[in-house]
């Protein structure tokens, strides 16, 4: 089953209030209204895209180690997934799909990382719950997400809903701003150029991990051709 098919199935069960969700039906219009407003804002179209240079960053992983984009790119192309946090079931399904594709990313010479505003303890929980073999980096305050054009502030009614649902973002993130990144996937070449970008203000929509493999393999083919020509 594709990642999007799994996301769609989860969304259908959630909206239907099936166990174990039992979500009250009045929450869905609030969520849908916030998503529609973010789509209408056009922010996704203004985010960093293919052909542009990726912002440099230095963040800490779940164990407190410093990780820089420069060091990662020195090893090969970089695949980045910006996701919302351990509390987001759509994000967890995406992480699981990325983990299943990790051997293919490695075979293509790429490094995979996820970036989230959550604190290190919740990153460790994400890695443990989803059995991840790739690192999660903590982007406190969504500063790197902002550099990519992904950070947005939740509207007041959605903040109230999250509080009602016990999605306490300040506690998860150690940051009182009530901001999140739009879910996004990037492939960055070793020269820092963005080779692929997928930014979606609808958090229930995510690209297939296999889409990145096509880009990585083409980049490897072009690099090999340049080397042979030189």
In this prediction, residues 174-200 reach a mean pLDDT of: 96
**pLDDT confidence band for 230 (50 / 70 / 90):** low
Question: Going from the N-terminus, what domains does the chain have, and what CATH number goes with each?
Answer: 3-229 (3.40.30.10)
Main-chain dihedrals φ then ψ at residue 182, nearest 5 degrees: -65, 135
Quote the CA–CA distance of 81 and 119 in Å, as a whole number: 16
Structure confidence by residue, pLDDT tens digits, 57-82:
999 999 999 999 999 999 999 999 99
**pLDDT confidence band for 105 (50 / 70 / 90):** very high
Tokens of 70: 């420069």
Structure confidence by residue, pLDDT tens digits, 85-101:
999 999 999 999 999 99
The pLDDT, as a whole number, for residue 229 is 64
Quote the CA–CA distance of 136 and 117 in Å, as a whole number: 10
Residue 229, classed as helix, strand or coil, is helix
Residue with tokens 């984009």: 69
Q: By the 8 A CB rule, do 113 and 78 touch?
A: yes
DSSP calls for 156-211: HHHHHHHHHTT--HHHHHT-TT-EEEPPEEEEE-TTSBEEEEEE-SSTT----HHH
In this prediction, residues 44-52 reach a mean pLDDT of: 97
Quote the CA–CA distance of 155 and 46 in Å, as a whole number: 20
Quote the CA–CA distance of 82 and 84 in Å, as a whole number: 7
**In this predicted structure, which of 22-26, 30-34, 207-211 has the lowest mean pLDDT?**
22-26
Phi-psi region of 188 (alpha: psi -120 to 50; beta: other; left: phi over 0): beta
List alpha helices for 64-135, DSSP H: 69-75, 89-107, 120-130
Closest Cα partner for 212 from 123, 89, 131, 107?
107
Tell me which of 31, 34, 88, 91 is the catalytic residue.
91
Task: Indicate if 91 belongs to the active site.
Answer: yes
Residue 114, classed as helix, strand or coil, is strand
The pLDDT, as a whole number, for residue 222 is 79
The pLDDT, as a whole number, for residue 226 is 73
The count of other CB atoms within 10 Å of the CB of residue 53 is 11
């Amino acid at each position: 089953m594709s990642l999007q098919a799994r996301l769609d199935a989860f969304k259908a069960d959630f909206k239907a209030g099936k166990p174990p969700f039992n979500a009250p039906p009045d929450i869905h219009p609030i969520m849908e209204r916030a998503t529609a407003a973010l789509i209408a804002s056009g922010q996704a179209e203004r985010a960093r895209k293919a052909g542009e240079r990726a912002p440099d960053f230095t963040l800490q992983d779940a164990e407190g180690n410093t990780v820089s984009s420069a060091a990662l790119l020195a090893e090969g192309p970089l695949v980045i997934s910006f996701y919302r946090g351990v509390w987001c079931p759509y994000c967890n399904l995406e992480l699981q799909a990325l983990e299943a594709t990790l051997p293919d990313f490695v075979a293509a010479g790429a490094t995979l990382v996820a970036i989230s505003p959550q604190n290190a303890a919740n990153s460790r929980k994400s890695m443990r719950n989803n059995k991840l073999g790739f690192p999660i980096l903590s982007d406190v305050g969504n500063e790197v997400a902002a550099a990519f054009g992904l950070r947005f502030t939740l509207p007041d009614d959605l903040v109230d809903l999250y509080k009602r649902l016990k999605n306490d973002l300040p506690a998860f993130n150690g940051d009182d701003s009530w901001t999140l990144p739009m879910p996004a996937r990037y492939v960055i070449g070793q020269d820092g150029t963005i080779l692929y970008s997928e930014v979606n203000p609808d958090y229930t929509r995510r690209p297939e991990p296999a889409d990145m493999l096509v880009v990585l393999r083409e980049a490897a083919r072009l690099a090999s051709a340049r080397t042979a020509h030189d």
